[in-house]
Amino acid sequence: MLLKTTRACDVRESQVTDESLYIARRKFMQGTAALAGASMLPASSLWPQPAGAAISIGDVEKSVFSTAEELNSFEDITSYNNFYELGLKKGDPKRNADRLVTEPWSIRVEGECDKPGDYDLEDFIPAPRLEERIYRLRCVEAWSMVIPWVGVELGPVLKRFEPTSKAKYVQFFTLYDPKNLPGQRRSVLDWPYREGLRMDEAMHPLTILAVGLYGKELPNQNGAPLRLVVPWKYGFKSIKSIVRIRFTQSEPATSWNQSAPREYGFYSNVNPAVNHPRWSQKRERRIGEILKRKTLPFNGYAEQVAGLYAGMDLKKHF
C-alpha cells in the first residue's frame, strides 16, 4: 500500500496526467494475467459487446448476487442519466461527458480510521477480484433500469483503512470542479455532492464500488472512474465520481436530504408504501418499456437486507 501526502505546492491532478499513472490505470482496468483463472470467465461470455464503449475490462467473475432480469441496452444506460454536475436534463451527462477529467484519480480517506490518506485509484482497490453484478437501479422519479455493473464489494475495501469503533457511518463526496463541470456553476445543490451510509449498510455484500458496466470501463456520464452502487436504495444514493470517503461517528449530511428533507430521507430505501410528496412510488416504468410494473420493497432485495432495519419505522426513517 502506498500512502501519499498532498502538499499545497503540488500540481493539481486535473492539470497533468503522469505517464506511469496512465499506464497503471490502463492495466488496472484491462486486468492482468494474475486475475485469470479456472473460476473466471472471459468478458465476452458475460455481455454482448456494445459499440462506442470505453476500454474493455479483463476477465471478470460472475457474481451469485446478480438478477436474471433482462438487461437494459448499453445505449439506454449511458444516454438517460441523472448526473447534475454534467447538466439537469437526462441527455446532458452524455453530451457533456468529456468535461469530466478522470485521469489521474485519487481518493482521500479520512475521519474515524487508523489509515487515512490520499490513495491513487490503483492503490485504493489493489489487485481487485472484479465481479459482474446485474442489479436493478430504481430512481425516485419512478423509473428503473437493469444494469450489468463491474465492481468490487465495498466492505473489504473499507476494512483496509481500519475504521475505529467510533465509525458508525461512512460519507462519500463527488469531485468538485466547477471550472469543468457546468452543473456545479449553478446553485441547484450545495456542492460538492455528498452521500452517506450506515456502516452495516456499507459492509453489506450487495453494496459495491463499480468501475465498469457491460464489460467496459465506466463511462463518464455513469460516474467514472469509481461510483457507489446500493441496489436496494433509490439511485441518487449511488454517488458518482467519488474522490473522498469519511468515516464518521454521527449521521452525515447528504445532498438531497439537505436540499429537500421532506422529500428525501437519509435512508432512501425503495419503499412503495412511502410516496414522494409530489408523486406515488407504488409503480415504476422500466426504461424501454411502455407499461408500468409494481414497485418491490427494497427494490426486490428485501430477503437480503430487510434485517438491517428490524424494529425501525420505515415511514419515519424514509
pLDDT of residue 54: 58
Position 265 scores a pLDDT of: 95
Q: What's the pTM?
A: 0.84
Residue 42 pLDDT? 37
Give the three-class secondary structure for 134.
strand
What letter does residue 263 receive in the DSSP assignment? Answer: T
Q: Please give the pLDDT value at position 55.
A: 75
Amino acid 87: pLDDT: 96
Single-letter code of the amino acid located at 259: S
Question: How far apart, in whole angstroms, are the C-alpha atoms of residue 184 and residue 241?
Answer: 14
pLDDT, averaged in runs of 10, over the chain (318 residues): 36 36 46 35 38 68 94 97 96 97 96 98 84 95 96 97 98 97 95 98 98 96 98 97 98 97 96 91 95 96 98 94
The count of residues in the chain is 318
Write the CA distances from 106 to 10, 122, 200, integer angstroms: 14, 9, 25
Q: What is the CATH number of domain 16-266?
A: 3.90.420.10
Residue written as cell 469503533? Answer: 165
- The residues spanned by each domain of the chain are 16-266
- Find the helix or strand (DSSP H, E) in which 157 lies: helix 154-159
C-alpha cell at 55: 476500454
Looking at residue 295, the DSSP 8-state letter turns out to be: P
Q: Are 162 and 112 in contact (CB under 8 A)?
A: no
